[in-house]
A and B are shown apart, each in its own frame.
Chain A
Amino acid sequence: ILNVEQSPQSLHVQEGDSTNFTCSFPSSNFYALHWYRWETAKSPEALFVMTLNGDEKKKGRISATLNTKEGYSYLYIKGSQPEDSATYLCADETDSWGKLQFGAGTQVVVTP
């Protein structure tokens, strides 16, 4: 993998259901992996910054895991709510300069 890739591009979830989606990134030259949530007409908001292989982070109903050896991260949403509807962006850093290479995002729509 040369670029950051996210799948699926979009998904529709019924309220109350749990879901997860993937971020794949080049496993060489890894420094950190970021997740952001971007709601329509708002600013992207940081969810997690992960640096260690095997890292698991949690914020409320949202959690993320990281596998730096194989180059992927999963984001999980437990018991989805309509307010979880947003585009979820992941980005990797490959050095200490703080430069992010983003994926195109996974758009999540939660329907009541």
Chain B
Amino acid sequence: DAMVIQNPRYQVTQFGKPVTLSCSQTLNHNVMYWYQQKSSQAPKLLFHYYDKDFNNEADTPDNFQSRRPNTSFCFLDIRSPGLGDAAMYLCATSRGQGGYEQYFGPGTRLTVT
């Protein structure tokens, strides 16, 4: 009965080789978020969707893109991963914006070699 699913759980990619991380949800929530967490640091918001409206954080690198083809799925594309992009990537959903708890997936740990 997993509600927010992230695949794969572990991803290894080569320096400069594009990689896509996926997130799906069974909650039918309007809002989806992508966070990046580097070792021992605070998770950092990369972008979020309210329905199909995309909101990019000002300091999210151009290297990072996202797609949300429908309510259930959201993808994080890293066009040319660098060593500094190795991190845990967390997907989350919420029913609405402002004061709603977020439901997280287990994360994808990305290694860049």
> A44: which B residues are within 8 A, CB to CB?
90, 92, 104
Distance between B79 CB and nearest chain A CB, rounded to angstroms: 24
A91 to B104 CA separation, bound complex (whole angstroms) = 14
* A98:B104 contact, CB within 8 angstroms: no
Q: Which residue of B lies closest to A45 (CB)?
A: B104
Distance between B17 CB and nearest chain A CB, rounded to angstroms: 26
| Tally of contacts, chain A with chain B, CB under 8 A | 70
Q: How many residues of B contact A (CB 8 A)?
A: 28
Q: How many residues of A contact B (CB 8 A)?
A: 28
User: Residue B105 contacts which of A4, A43, A46 (CB distance < 8 angstroms)?
Assistant: A43
* A98:B97 contact, CB within 8 angstroms: yes
Query: Would you call B80 an interface residue if the criterion is a C-beta within 8 Å of the partner chain's C-beta atoms?
Result: no
Mark the stretch among A12-20, A60-68, A75-83, A99-107 that contacts chain B.
A99-107
Interface pairs A-B: 6 shortest CB-CB: A96-B98, A98-B97, A46-B101, A102-B42, A44-B104, A43-B104
